[in-house]
Structure 1
Amino acid sequence: MFDFSKTRAAFHLPDGVTYLDGNSLGPMPRAAQGRVAAMMADEWSEMLIGGWNKAGWYAQPRRVGDRIARLIGAGPGEVVMGDTLSIKVFQALSAALALRPDRRVILSDSGNFPSDLYVAEGLARAMGATLRVVDPGDVAQAIGDDLAVLMLTEVDYRTGRRHDMADLTARAHRAGALALWDLAHSAGAVDVDLTGADADFAVGCTYKYLNGGPGAPAFIWTHPRHAAAAQPILQGWMGHAAPFAFDAEYRPAPGIERMRVGTPPVIALAALEAALDVWDDLSLSDLRAQSIRLTQAFIAGVEAACPELVLNSPRDPQGRGSQVSFRHPQAYAVMQALIAAGVVGDFRAPDVLRFGFAPLYNDLADVERAVGVLARIVHDGSWDRAEFHQKADVT
């Protein structure tokens, strides 16, 4: 079994804090501060605009993309970085719809992240398509011969429910449709295998389990069979075949490079590169085994200590990602009390206490402390103080 104490030591975790919110924002890798400072001092300061060539800034989105590819079951040259996750969802979905011009139905589920559904709704309106949203358990039955694109987030952001990517992708293909997967709550948390599942497109963010920092850039993957044909509606300068020819008309770059849009966020990518160093000797199978160990222990502990809380995640670890949620009628106040006591999770409306478990830095001691503090807060009623009911802008 991999020694996760080595990866835990690679992160700055504030004293007295048990951090179970890496599914929202990963903690800072210790190496990131120095890497960004060096980039600013040695590259931006000294090279100025020459850094695009001398320091490799221009090629950075592909270089970093190759490192993420290994964590999602993709190959070299198949992943590129840049922009936000919503932009990448828009690009991938528009490209997938264009590959099925005789069909105009997008299928998703009610557990998908709202931003993905907002993008799909707007794109459907602009392209004369229809967005069909069903219950997560009804997705397989809703795949029909009119479907153009199946668009799902692999791990549900509220419940942690994990879709069977290979099965649903195969069902979509049998119906003549394409499958687009959002890996926001998967990459760095579970054993993703896009190639093995034969998916068509995938996108994801890097500020959660990949620990790239707030606002870290997103990634996009296109299966090689679509790389030469995919034509996203959002065509940017960096995705041109010859950006510095300054042609008046757009010509898509070969392969995944056409999915680049704007100028890459070089400073943010430097921090992300430092964060990715921790993965060099770690296998996804070890990651997944540790994730299951932690989440199973947490569920058992909470149910024994706090029977009044209701499990809101699948009990079977094979159907769950690396997060666990419980329901409580005063979940927001309970979570604020937890945070004040040094156990950081988060709240999701209307009544969900959500806890993310990142094997890179969480361990069984974190589980034990979180269960103990949660039990105390629930049982002594200390959550019911006025300040814990005051809603903040970000929950």
Structure 2
Amino acid sequence: MSTASPRSSAELDAADPLAPLRDRFVGAESDLVYFDGNSLGRPVADVADRLTTFVQEEWGGRLIRGWDERWMDLPTTLGDDLGRIALGAAAGQTAIGDSTTVWLYKLMRAAVDHAVRTDPARTEIVIDTDNFPTDRYVAEGIAAERGLTLRWIEVDTSAGVTADQVREAVSERTALVVVNHVAYRSAWLADAPELTRIVHEAGALVLWDLCHSAGVVPTALDAWDVDLAVGCTYKYLNGGPGSPAFGYVNARLQGELTQPIQGWMGHADPFLMGPGYTPAPGIRRFISGTPPILGMVAMQSMLELVDEAGIEAIREKSVALTSYAVELAEATLPEVTLASPRDPAQRGGHITLHHDRMREVTAALWQRDVIPDYRDPGGLRIGLSPLSTSFDEVERGIAAVAEALR
């Protein structure tokens, strides 16, 4: 354990260039300590006005005309904004709509079908045992549907997937590799460009789950030559409960993949209502049904805020917040172990602290308006959304953890 005295939260907040943006979030001024921004972000304050304006002027005023005037294109225009602001993706490769699970199914299924069609010997999906449950469940279902085999990478739940593990797992039988960019339990930050390169050398495709990195960890999907990516928008993108997910399909693959949920919104002419399905060009072919416009409207406020702050500055504060949480934990929680990478360059926007009684600690903290979440085994997960979290909040929260443990 470190013997150095923790730094002053007041000094850190005073020196934080992003501190003024905290006032833009509902509830940030309260005494509640929110350690779960990596599960559901606080609402941006102007969302209420934005939604009211939408209801009164677009929905109430324009009615069905809204589809022709803006809504039909919103999944791709907002997708382009997300790609530019947070993903490192050029226009025409990102679309918003559906849930994370549906996007995972569509892109995993499209990838393995393409791989098997190209080379029937590619019959394996590579995925790790600590991948987020939805990813594993979808992979299991697709493997059963298509007669494929799952090849599991066993990982340390306090770390994550390494280049050596991927190199050992892939082969001429690999169709698709599915990896979390930031591990949901430990916050391990995978080496996306290196792992992508290894998968490509094996002749396979890779799908990155960005749920715990979009909006908090910069990505460079185009520069890394990523094939496919999926992410949600209710964590660090603050779109609200159940806000729609996004999918990224590299432009070089869009004409090669056949998406399996052929809905009317992905048709080349949705209003033709013809007898057969003709896929739309580009990323639009990966849209299925009517997009959830209200969820997209709410997300626009946070995207604008991320654009204003800059994703690199957000990452810098994220590293500072998690490092401060580790520093405080080491100084005040001697009975607790860090179940996340110690090196901030190897972790995303949260940390996990381990103790056998953390489930009880979490329940006790919720009763006093300190809100972390719990992940087995014995993990208290602290998700620090950089634009809405102060260093003072971190200090008060760690002190509450120490008190609850006592």
TM-score normalised by the shorter chain: which range applies? over 0.9
2:84 aligned with 1:57: no
Distance 1:246 1:162, change over 3 A: same
Q: What pairs up with 1:1-395 in 2 under 5 angstroms?
A: 3-13=17-27, 15-54=30-69, 56-70=70-84, 71-101=86-116, 102=119, 103-136=122-155, 137=161, 138-379=165-406
8 A contact 1:2–1:286 mirrored in 2: no
Q: Deviations over 1:53-83 (max 9, x none)?
A: 23x1111111111111020110112111101
CA RMSD, 1 decimal: 1.4
SS of the residue corresponding to residue 99 of structure 1 reads helix
For residues 375 and 220 of structure 1, what CA distance do their matches in structure 2 show? 40
For residues 228 and 26 of structure 1, what CA distance do their matches in structure 2 show? 35
Instruction: Give the stretch that moved more between structures: 30-39 or 42-51.
Output: 42-51
For residues 82 and 295 of structure 2, what CA distance do their matches in structure 1 show? 15
SS of the residue corresponding to residue 106 of structure 2 reads helix
8 A contact 1:4–1:361 mirrored in 2: no
Amino acid paired to 2:147: G
For residues 121 and 262 of structure 1, what CA distance do their matches in structure 2 show? 24
For residues 146 and 258 of structure 2, what CA distance do their matches in structure 1 show? 14
SS of the residue corresponding to residue 287 of structure 1 reads helix
Distance 1:375 1:272, change over 3 A: same
Q: Deviations over 1:103-139 (max 9, x none)?
A: 1111011121111111111111111111222123433
8 A contact 2:96–2:244 mirrored in 1: yes
C-alpha deviation, 1:2, in angstroms: 7.3
Unpaired segments of 5 or more residues in structure 1?
Answer: 380-395
For residues 140 and 347 of structure 1, what CA distance do their matches in structure 2 show? 32
SS of the residue corresponding to residue 72 of structure 2 reads coil
C-alpha deviation, 1:291, in angstroms: 1.0
Instruction: Give the stretch that moved more between structures: 347-356 or 130-139.
Output: 130-139
Amino acid paired to 2:61: E
8 A contact 2:18–2:309 mirrored in 1: no
8 A contact 2:166–2:198 mirrored in 1: no
For residues 48 and 329 of structure 1, what CA distance do their matches in structure 2 show? 55
For residues 301 and 274 of structure 1, what CA distance do their matches in structure 2 show? 32
Q: TM-score, normalised on structure 1?
A: 0.93
Distance 1:165 1:226, change over 3 A: same
C-alpha deviation, 1:4, in angstroms: 1.1
For residues 276 and 327 of structure 2, what CA distance do their matches in structure 1 show? 60
C-alpha deviation, 1:314, in angstroms: 0.8
Among all aligned residue pairs of Structure 1 and Structure 2, give the percentage whose two residues are the same amino acid.
39
Q: Which runs of 4+ in 1 moved over 4 A?
A: none
